[in-house]
């Protein structure tokens, strides 16, 4: 029983380490509407620097929450979209956003 609680707390702590990073939940929120190019993300979140956006996108890709797709058109484009795992997290964060609208 105690091991189950420890495992649950470790999982919760890991999730909070991911979504607790500045800009992560906002990036996921924006990508919930569908794939976006880097420049679109940068425009939609104007206070987020390009360097930090790039860093967060790489982290989210490493966590398996988003996928980066290079489109070999002229010019070459890169799009970012949520994976199934990222979409599910986006839905969960949507509940938090609804709570915030109601209570904050």
Signed CA dihedral, 28, 29, 34, 40: sign only: negative
Closest-CA residue to 30 (of 16, 44, 9, 20): 44
Give CATH for domain 2-103: 1.10.10.10
Q: Are 66 and 53 in contact (CB under 8 A)?
A: no
What pLDDT is attached to residue 20?
93
Provide the pLDDT for residue 61.
98
Residue 24 CB contacts under 8 Å (≥ 6 apart), including other chains: 18, 56, 59, 60
Give the SS3 label for residue 70.
strand
- State the pLDDT at residue 50: 97
pTM above 0.85, yes or no: yes
For residue 63, what pLDDT is reported? 96
Q: What is the pLDDT along the chain (104 residues), one digit of tens a residue?
A: 777 778 878 878 888 899 999 999 999 999 999 999 999 999 999 999 999 999 999 999 999 999 999 999 899 999 999 999 999 999 999 999 999 999 99
Do the beta carbons of residue 78 and residue 37 sit within 8 Å?
Answer: yes
- pLDDT of res. 99: 95
- Residue 37 forms beta bridges with which residues? 79
Domain ranges, ordered by start, for the chain: 2-103
């Amino acid at each position: 029983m105690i091991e189950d609680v420890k495992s649950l707390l470790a999982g919760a702590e890991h999730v909070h380490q991911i979504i607790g990073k500045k800009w992560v939940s906002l990036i996921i929120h924006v990508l919930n509407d569908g794939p976006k190019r880097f420049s679109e993300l940068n425009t939609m979140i104007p206070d987020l620097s390009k360097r930090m956006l790039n860093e967060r996108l790489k982290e989210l890709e490493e966590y398996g929450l988003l996928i980066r797709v290079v489109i070999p058109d002229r010019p070459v484009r890169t799009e970012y979209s949520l994976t199934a795992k990222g979409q599910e997290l986006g839905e969960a964060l949507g509940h938090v956003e609804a709570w915030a609208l109601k209570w904050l």
